[in-house]
Homo-oligomer: A and B are copies of this chain.
Amino acid sequence: MGSSRNLTLYVDLLSQPCRAVTIFCSGMIDDDDDDDGHARVNEIEADVQIVSFLKKETREPPFLAINPLGQVPAIDDGGFTLSESHTIMRYLAATRKVADHWYPEDLEKRACVDRVLDWQHGSIDRDAAQFLVHRELAPLLGRTKNPTLAAEAEDSLKQSLKTMETVWLKDSPFLARGSQPSIADISSACQLQHLKLLDKEESGALLAPYEKVKAWMVAVEEFTAPYFVEVHGELEKLAKILEERRKSEAEAELETAPKL
């Protein structure tokens, strides 16, 4: 389905769900059976507005008029405003020209996508966020790290990765049983990609036991190339800043350590 409405997308690319919506809009697959060698085209025309939550722009009146909850992502589709990344992707899949596999018309296939999206809310969304905050990001957010909460979140996160490995990806390359990705794949992949803010060895060790999860992340990145990497540019920059800071802190600690 096409739409002649003007779409504005409000995002902060440091946010996982914002990246998911942005990649979804960029990485649509043209359903047409044309052989021009450009299967992947941007089918969703949108004016992208960056709204920074670190600068508290999400709390300012102009944005609160779009989303009174003060959260990104949000959209304005010809005057109809909407928030929540899963909801936005479902809505755009229904109102724009989007390949069926992203959010299938078939009711059983669609339910399989919905199930993973709903599962994600109460598992990796919650756990990855809590783990990152209490292991790494708390000082940036003006909060205090809590090692107990970090450990609890790490345990839960490992359980969720195990569920991905042994249930969702057991017999399928993507999370919702399809041979091509759905909006649930984009959403979960953006969430796990956020773990790049950790020390490389730590994030590597966390994912190491889950071969299918690692292969699936590569598959999602490849399927949505080049958008997946492009949209993660801001996250990569922040990851490098944090890496440098960890190095300086470690060196400073070494210098002040008692000499043997």
Contact = CB atoms under 8 A, between A and B. Distances in A.
Interface stretch (A44-52, A84-92, A133-141, A228-236): A84-92
A80 B95 contact: no
A240 interface: no
Copies of this protein in the assembly total 2
Given A84-B115, A115-B84, A107 B122 contact: no
A107 B94 CA distance: 7
Interface of A: 68-69, 80, 82-87, 90-91, 94-95, 107-108, 110-111, 114-115, 117-119, 121-122, 125-126, 163, 166-167
Tell which of A69, A87, A119, A163 has the most Cβ of chain B within 10 Å. Answer: A87
Tell which of A107, A114, A119 has the most Cβ of chain B within 10 Å. Answer: A114
Nearest to A167: B68
A119 B167 contact: no
Which 5 A-B pairs give the minimum distances between C-beta atoms?
A121-B121, A84-B118, A87-B114, A91-B111, A87-B115
Tell which of A119, A121, A167 has the most Cβ of chain B within 10 Å. Answer: A121
A110 to B, nearest CB: 8
Contacts of A122: 121, 125-126
A4 to B, nearest CB: 15
A85 B118 CA distance: 9
13 contacts: A69-B163, A80-B108, A82-B111, A84-B119, A86-B114, A87-B111, A87-B114, A87-B115, A87-B118, A90-B114, A94-B107, A121-B125, A122-B126
